[in-house]
Chains A and B, each alone.
Chain A
Amino acid sequence: MIEARGLVKRYGATLAVDRLSFSVRPGVVTGFLGPNGSGKSTTMRLILGLDAPDAGGVRVSGRRYRDLAWPLREVGAVLDARAFHPGRSARAHLAALAASNGIAGSRVEQVLDVVGLANVAGRRVGGFSLGMAQRLGIAAALLGDPGVLLLDEPVNGLDPEGIRWMRELLRSLARQGRTVFVSSHLISEMALTAEHLVVIGRGRLLADTSVAVLAAGSASLEDAFFALTSGATDYRADRVDGDRDSTARTA
């Protein structure tokens, strides 16, 4: 369970997150949607206590993140697919994180197996493809067998097989009763993966509803998303309407 209440985050003159409140429930995959620059990554950092909010707060499993006894056993997160020292092996990267939270070394081999990196575990991660890096990120998130998972754009760089693998993994994690919160700008992918959606634009909450309800009034989830975010997008080209309709129909 993740509960954000009245989150505000400013970077200089930019208001990145504006009085944002939502909750993410266990048992389903919750998609976190919004245009580029809408504050998704900032919100993720606020949840993990990496950035300090200017107002409001977040609770994870009922506690502030910094009060968690064993953070990795409560929350697994992937913020940046490339957040590894390029000279370190995948195994050493995971072993370091495992040690910090008193997680047994055998668990490192387990998660390497789960993400399919067991045979390259000794290789330096600097040579990993983006898809392999995403898998290593997932392995790190699963280390502590956490009840809450937080993933920022996890399908970036994955091939079609990897995307399907990720979708099944996220859904199976949710079925086990975990809280799974996944940001993405790939709406069609979210339509297949998520049951619930939190949509933001310019740092504000635009929708906190089920995929079915949001898509109900429109031809597709994508259409519903564009209708919702039309007033809250900073970086959209003007004349994409025709294209957008055609892609929406074929999606």
Chain B
Amino acid sequence: MTRATVTRSGPGTAHGRYRLRHVARMEWIKLRSVRSTWWLLVCVVLAMVGVGIGVGAGYRSHTPVATAAQIVNNALGGAVLAQLLIGALGVVAVTGEYSCGLVRASFAAIPHRGMVLAAKVGVFGVVAFTVGELAAFAGVVAGQAAIAGSPVPQVSLGDPAVLGPVLLTGAYLGLIGLLGVGFGVLIRHTGGAIGALFAAMFVPMFLAATFGPAGIAVLKFVPLFILVNSVAVVTPVPGTLPAWAGVGVMCLYAALALTAGWRLLVRRDA
């Protein structure tokens, strides 16, 4: 048994006060020191790579011969799966603290709750965008590798028509991660927040679809629809948002969820 002694170093040894960089360091340690973070991030990349390989392999002997755009579009379609994983990771980055009560230790360490949320959004955002981009590139590269030696034409990532959708798909994934953070702060419960996030992505699709062709006026603002029609495609489907506008709308959604979460966070009892 260790002797129960603690020495006092005395007050006055520390100057200044806590800043965002201190809080960001805490959030970075928290994020990286949990294994599920790494598992989910690896799965995000694997989802894109897996779909890319599947698409490429499927089109190798397809007749008529697939176009270059078809291969890219379908490979980027892996983002439909990847977004669920990165969204869930965003949720869990917040609700994991609520489920065990760690959030109270975090707020006792940093009473400025807005700063804690800002640090979490900053740190998680950088990770989510980086991994989102990595996954999008890996998906397309995997798709290209899978059609190597077949009659299907290859594309170059240096081609702006290809690079654009790849970059924007990565950004879309990062934004879904931040949307997950927003839902986590709002709902504070892992199951509830993931359920609500997935519902927000899928339910409007089905609802708007019941309105037939007129539904597209609403559908073009639905996240999943934006992904598969505006963002993760070489040429956006006519009548839908341009790719940059689609990502802009996603930015708006993430900002709305985070702002609403922040307003509740500073008012609610922890």
Chain A residues within an 8 Å CB radius of B104 = 45, 48, 50, 79-80, 83
8 Å CB contact of B111 from A65, A89, A166, A172: A65
Q: In the complex where A50-B107, A114-B2, A165-B4 touch, is A100 in contact with B26 (Cβ < 8 A)?
A: yes
- Inter-chain CA distance A134–B177, complex, in Å, is 34
8 Å CB contact of B29 from A45, A69, A96: A96
Q: Does A84 lie within 8 Å of B102, measured CB to CB?
A: yes
Does any Cβ of A come within 8 Å of B109's Cβ? yes
Chain A residues within an 8 Å CB radius of B25 = 99-100
Residue of A nearest to B105 (CB): A83
Q: Does B109 lie within 8 Å of A71, measured CB to CB?
A: yes
Does any Cβ of A come within 8 Å of B167's Cβ? no
Q: Does A92 lie within 8 Å of B108, measured CB to CB?
A: no
Contact segment of A140-148, A219-227, A235-243: A140-148
Most buried by A among B18, B22, B101, B108: B108
Does any Cβ of A come within 8 Å of B60's Cβ? no
Q: Does B29 lie within 8 Å of A83, measured CB to CB?
A: no
Most buried by B among A45, A85, A142: A85
Chain B residues within an 8 Å CB radius of A5 = none
Q: In the complex where A84-B100, A96-B26, A99-B26 touch, is A69 in contact with B5 (Cβ < 8 A)?
A: no
- Inter-chain CA distance A173–B27, complex, in Å, is 30
- Inter-chain CA distance A187–B269, complex, in Å, is 30
Does any Cβ of B come within 8 Å of A58's Cβ? no
Q: Does A70 lie within 8 Å of B17, measured CB to CB?
A: yes
Does any Cβ of B come within 8 Å of A19's Cβ? no
Q: Does A85 lie within 8 Å of B96, measured CB to CB?
A: yes
Q: In the complex where A89-B33, A96-B29 touch, is A50 in contact with B269 (Cβ < 8 A)?
A: yes
- Inter-chain CA distance A87–B14, complex, in Å, is 32
Q: Does B35 lie within 8 Å of A87, measured CB to CB?
A: yes
Q: How far is the CB of B64 from chain A (nearest CB, A)?
A: 50
Q: Does A177 lie within 8 Å of B8, measured CB to CB?
A: yes
Does any Cβ of A come within 8 Å of B34's Cβ? yes
Q: Does B2 lie within 8 Å of A116, measured CB to CB?
A: yes
Residue of B nearest to A165 (CB): B4
| Interface range, A side | 35 or more
8 Å CB contact of A68 from B23, B33, B111: B111
Residue of B nearest to A142 (CB): B6
| Interface range, B side | 35 or more
8 Å CB contact of A66 from B11, B22, B112: B112
- Inter-chain CA distance A113–B22, complex, in Å, is 24
- Inter-chain CA distance A99–B104, complex, in Å, is 16
- Inter-chain CA distance A80–B36, complex, in Å, is 24
The digit string for B2-45, where 1 denotes a CB below 8 A from any CB of A, is 10111011010010111000110111011001111000000000
The digit string for A106-120, where 1 denotes a CB below 8 A from any CB of B, is 000000011110000
Residue of A nearest to B25 (CB): A99
Instruction: List CB contacts (< 8 Å) of A49-108 with chain B.
Output: 49-52, 65-66, 68-73, 75, 77, 79-80, 82-89, 92-93, 95-97, 99-102
- Inter-chain CA distance A72–B27, complex, in Å, is 16
Residue of A nearest to B116 (CB): A100
Chain A residues within an 8 Å CB radius of B109 = 71-72, 97, 100-101
- Inter-chain CA distance A226–B128, complex, in Å, is 57
Q: Does B101 lie within 8 Å of A99, measured CB to CB?
A: no
For the A-B complex with A71-B108, A97-B105, A100-B18 known, give 6 more contacts whose Cβ atoms are closer than 8 Å.
A50-B270, A71-B18, A83-B101, A100-B110, A172-B5, A178-B8
5 A-B pairs with the lowest CB-CB distances in the bound complex, closest first: A92-B33, A69-B17, A83-B101, A100-B26, A169-B4
Which B residues lie at the A interface, using CB under 8 A? 1-2, 4-6, 8-9, 11, 14, 16-18, 22-23, 25-27, 29-30, 33-36, 96-97, 100-102, 104-112, 269-270
20 A-B contacts (beta carbon < 8 Å): A48-B104, A50-B104, A50-B269, A66-B111, A68-B111, A71-B108, A71-B109, A71-B111, A72-B109, A79-B104, A79-B108, A85-B30, A96-B29, A100-B106, A102-B14, A102-B22, A140-B105, A145-B8, A169-B6, A176-B6
Which A residues lie at the B interface, using CB under 8 A? 45, 48-52, 65-66, 68-73, 75, 77, 79-80, 82-89, 92-93, 95-97, 99-102, 113-116, 140, 142, 145, 147, 161, 165-166, 168-169, 172-173, 176-178
